[in-house]
Structure 1
Amino acid sequence: MQSETREYQKVIDYVSQMIADGQLKIGDRLPTERQIAETLSIGRNSTREALRMLEHIGMISCKRGSGNYLTDNVSRSVSEMVHMMLLLGQTDQAEICSFRRNMEKAVCRAVLDGKTFSRWETQVAEILHQACETQEREMQIELDRRFHYLLIQATENRFWIALLEPITDVYRKWIDAALQSANDFVKGQLQIEHQALFRALQNDDYAACEAAIDRHYDYVDAELSKSSK
């Protein structure tokens, strides 16, 4: 078993080194299983299993009849991890919602510190305008989703994006269900807080960002509490 583990690690180290050396970029095809096995002097079975492990965590994708390709879907494994933690009872909705509230504050801090909001301001403003114009519930939910995703994108920090987008995907399922049942008053208040957050980012006012986020998530948590009963 230890020998197999060392062989798995050889494959992972080999692929990682190829990336570090610039021999592999996103979209490039990896050497074949046979080539890797021969290069590392290890068994084909161990090579195959190691590649499947890399595929499972989203580092590579397998195209039947074509080979294995380097991909950038590592965030998938984060989402799967959160789902597994929920299934095993290692976390719950309340903990994830609390994490998401605090992470949105951290996202705003990153946006303000990086002075990046001006590059995203027009896109965010357009989403807020569309949200005010539409009465269609499904579109309102979609625009809410886009608003929060854009805030993450506005950090322009790839690590933030890779970490938070899959967690948000888990969280969004609950939010979408809660927004489906929310009354017009609650929907209106959520839009008001989106506008307040937008102005706070424009004004480089982190305290106002925090306050708008807390008010927003107070409404969200109240709706989640109703929908879970």
Structure 2
Amino acid sequence: MTTAQSKVYIEILRHIRAYIAEKQLSYGDKIPSEREFAEKLKVGRSSVREALRALELLGMIETRRGEGTFLKDFREHNLIELLGTFILEDSKAVVDIIQMNSLLEYNALQLVLQNNPEAELKLIAEKLSKNTVTRYECMREIIQLSNNHLLFRIWMVLNDYVTFVCKSDQVKVYSNEKLEMLVNALLNKEQEKVFAAYEEVSLKEYVE
């Protein structure tokens, strides 16, 4: 691929990404056809075809014969596992993943303390008192309460790798008692107790 072709290819990918963001499309939604993108961008259909093919190979879109092209949930396929295999070749990368996950969670907890979403925290506490809840499920609900959409999205993507790296059941399930301590500390706005409770359910054993 020449430099000029590469620039066109990258520009097409950027346009597709911008279109998805502008239209607020989600998994399962239909995107314009190869012809429509070519006409809109005033580029050759072959260039658009290559860009769409790359996205399809990555599992980000899927083409259904007679229906069109649709966004696909990338977590449905093995891309995370494939990339995770390469990441595991570098022990420093594994440490970086866990540390970044902890940084995101730590900052989310600080935001939750500021936002003070009492009603939502009470619902999480009630759920913990009645059912077995995994660490991931509990942290997902807490991080959503940070009211920072970008932080939440990054954490969600990163946790696909965290799950792949941390095979132990300890990463998936902690005692509800420990998770309840964390939620109750958030409810009472006790910052020191929040982060002491977080240490009890953190993933630090994977970086020691």
Q: Place the TM-score, normalised by the shorter chain, in its bin.
A: 0.7 to 0.9
Q: Deviations over 1:93-126 (max 9, x none)?
A: 3332233233221111122223335324313431
Change (3 A) 1:145 1:156: same
SS in 2 for 1:122: helix
How big is the shift at 1:28? Answer: 4.3
Q: Tell whether the 8 Å contact from 1:197 to 1:213 is kept in structure 2 after alignment.
A: yes
Give the structure 1 partner of residue 135 of structure 2: 144
Change (3 A) 1:170 1:117: farther
Give the structure 1 partner of residue 61 of structure 2: 61
SS in 1 for 2:31: coil
Counterpart CA distance in 2 for 1:21 and 1:215 is 41
Give the structure 2 partner of residue 213 of structure 1: 198
SS in 1 for 2:189: coil
Give the structure 1 partner of residue 32 of structure 2: 31
Q: Tell whether the 8 Å contact from 2:128 to 2:180 is kept in structure 1 after alignment.
A: no
Change (3 A) 1:176 1:121: farther
Specify every segment of 5 or more residues in structure 1 that has no aligned partner in the other structure, as ranges.
132-141
Counterpart CA distance in 1 for 2:94 and 2:5 is 38
Q: Tell whether the 8 Å contact from 1:145 to 1:172 is kept in structure 2 after alignment.
A: no
Counterpart CA distance in 2 for 1:104 and 1:72 is 24
The amino acid of 1:203's aligned partner reads N
Q: Tell whether the 8 Å contact from 1:33 to 1:44 is kept in structure 2 after alignment.
A: yes
Change (3 A) 1:63 1:109: same
Give the structure 2 partner of residue 170 of structure 1: 161
How big is the shift at 1:62? Answer: 1.7
Q: Tell whether the 8 Å contact from 1:112 to 1:206 is kept in structure 2 after alignment.
A: yes
Q: Deviations over 1:187-226 (max 9, x none)?
A: 6xx5443222111110122222111112333xx544x589
- Within 5 Å, give how 1:126-141 maps onto structure 2: 126-131=127-132
Q: Tell whether the 8 Å contact from 2:84 to 2:165 is kept in structure 1 after alignment.
A: no
Change (3 A) 1:198 1:176: farther
Counterpart CA distance in 2 for 1:81 and 1:154 is 31
Specify every segment of 5 or more residues in structure 2 that has no aligned partner in the other structure, as ranges.
none
Counterpart CA distance in 2 for 1:68 and 1:209 is 46
RMSD over aligned Cα, in angstroms?
3.7
- Within 5 Å, give how 1:56-135 maps onto structure 2: 61-65=61-65, 66-70=67-71, 79=80, 83=84, 86-89=87-90, 91-131=92-132
Counterpart CA distance in 2 for 1:204 and 1:165 is 25
Counterpart CA distance in 2 for 1:209 and 1:82 is 34
The amino acid of 1:49's aligned partner reads E
Counterpart CA distance in 2 for 1:80 and 1:173 is 7
How big is the shift at 1:68? Answer: 1.9
Give the structure 1 partner of residue 183 of structure 2: 198
Counterpart CA distance in 2 for 1:118 and 1:85 is 43
The amino acid of 2:16's aligned partner reads V
The amino acid of 1:177's aligned partner reads S
Aligned residue among 128, 148, 156 for 1:157: 148
Identity, in percent, stands at 21
SS in 1 for 2:70: strand
Q: Deviations over 1:10-40 (max 9, x none)?
A: 3234335545665x74454322212322443
